[in-house]
């Protein structure tokens, strides 16, 4: 048990729609990261938040955005969904920016 | 930019066989290296990590990995696999301050009983 909870577990959306994925981290975990894992591939870093501010970003367009809240919850928002956005989205948290990550089970997003 | 290559995409072994999964990374600076495992239907779990010091690191469940700086490699080993080791294994690196990871494509291991 990692203490990282993601919701929903599965989601189906239509191209062009917007989606919000949610993550709840362990108390005291000030860093939250989001990864996209396409089928058959390794996770790709989307962005990281530290104490509610974006701390780093991977090679993803601005339609991928996030929020981190003081209660150790966070959101990943994706606008204007494309078919290629279909993937498993992983949330990971850690106490600080140097500790190993604790991953949630992910949200599987299907865009049709 | 950093990158990670895992050359074995699928590996099938019989129980008690020895395991070695390859991982090579591309990054010129100081790196932290990780192996994560994803059992069927479960979340990614940390197997072991290398930050500094002894290049041979031991992790959970009898796994170990050796960091060879000159070869930019961090191969995962286990002397004798069990059926319960069936999972997908990911090598990851972070070369920047912080824990923003670059993952390899993964190796799917199947252990036959």
Task: Write out pLDDT tens, residues B12-51.
Answer: 999 999 999 999 999 877 889 999 999 988 999 999 999 8
Interchain contact, B99 vs A100, CB within 8 Å: yes
- Report phi then psi at A13, rounded to 5: -130, 165
Give first-to-last CA distance, chain A, whole Å. Answer: 32
Interchain contact, B105 vs A43, CB within 8 Å: no
Q: What is the pLDDT of residues A40-75, one digit of tens each?
A: 899 999 999 999 999 899 999 999 999 999 999 999
The minimal CB distance from B99 to the residues A40, A41, A98 is found for A98
Distance (Å) from the C-alpha of residue B45 to the closest C-alpha of chain A?
A: 7
Q: C-alpha angle with apex B18: B17 to B21, nearest 5 degrees? A: 130
Nearest CA among A34, A41, A62 for reference residue B90: A41
Q: Is pLDDT at B97 greater than 70 in this prediction? A: no
Q: What is the pLDDT of residue B79?
A: 97
Interchain contact, B100 vs A43, CB within 8 Å: no
Name the residue of chain B whose CA is nearest to A35's CA.
B101
Round to whole Å and give the CA distance between A36 and B17: 33
Round to whole Å and give the CA distance between B92 and A29: 21
Round to whole Å and give the CA distance between B110 and B6: 16
Q: How far is CA A11 from the centre of its chain?
A: 14
For A27, other C-beta atoms within 10 Å of its C-beta total 8
Q: Would you place residue B2 in the very low, low, confident or very high pLDDT band (cuts 50, 70, 90)?
A: confident
Nearest CA among A89, A111, A105 for reference residue A13: A111
Q: Would you place residue A1 in the very low, low, confident or very high pLDDT band (cuts 50, 70, 90)?
A: low
* Strands, E assignment, A5-112: 5-7, 10-13, 19-24, 31-37, 44-50, 53-57, 64-68, 73-78, 87-94, 102-103, 107-111
Where is pLDDT greater, at B98 or B33?
A: B33
Q: Which residues of A touch B90 (CB under 8 A)?
A: 42-43
3-state secondary structure of B69: helix
Q: Which residues of B touch A45 (CB under 8 A)?
A: 100-102
Interchain contact, B43 vs A105, CB within 8 Å: yes
Q: What is the pLDDT of residue B28?
A: 73
């Amino acid at each position: 048990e990692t203490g990282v909870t993601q919701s929903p577990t599965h989601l189906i959306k239509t191209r062009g729609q917007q989606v919000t994925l949610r993550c709840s981290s362990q108390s005291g975990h000030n860093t939250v990261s989001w990864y996209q894992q396409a089928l058959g591939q390794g996770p790709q870093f989307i962005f990281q938040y530290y104490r509610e501010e974006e701390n780093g970003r991977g090679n993803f367009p601005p339609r991928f955005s996030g929020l981190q809240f003081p209660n150790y919850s966070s959101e990943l928002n994706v606008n204007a969904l494309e078919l290629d956005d279909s993937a498993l989205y992983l949330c990971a948290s850690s106490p600080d920016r140097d500790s190993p990550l604790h991953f949630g089970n992910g949200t599987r997003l299907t865009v049709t | 930019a950093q990158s990670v290559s895992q050359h074995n995409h699928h590996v099938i072994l019989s129980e008690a066989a020895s395991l070695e999964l390859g991982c090579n990374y591309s990054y010129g600076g100081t790196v932290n290296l990780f192996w994560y495992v994803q059992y069927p239907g479960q979340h990614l779990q940390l197997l072991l990590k290398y930050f500094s010091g002894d290049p041979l690191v031991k992790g959970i469940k009898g796994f170990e990995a050796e960091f060879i700086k000159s070869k930019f490699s961090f191969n995962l080993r286990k002397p004798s696999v069990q059926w319960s080791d069936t999972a997908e294994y990911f090598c990851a690196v972070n070369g920047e301050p912080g824990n923003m990871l670059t993952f390899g494509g993964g190796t799917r291991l199947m252990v036959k009983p």
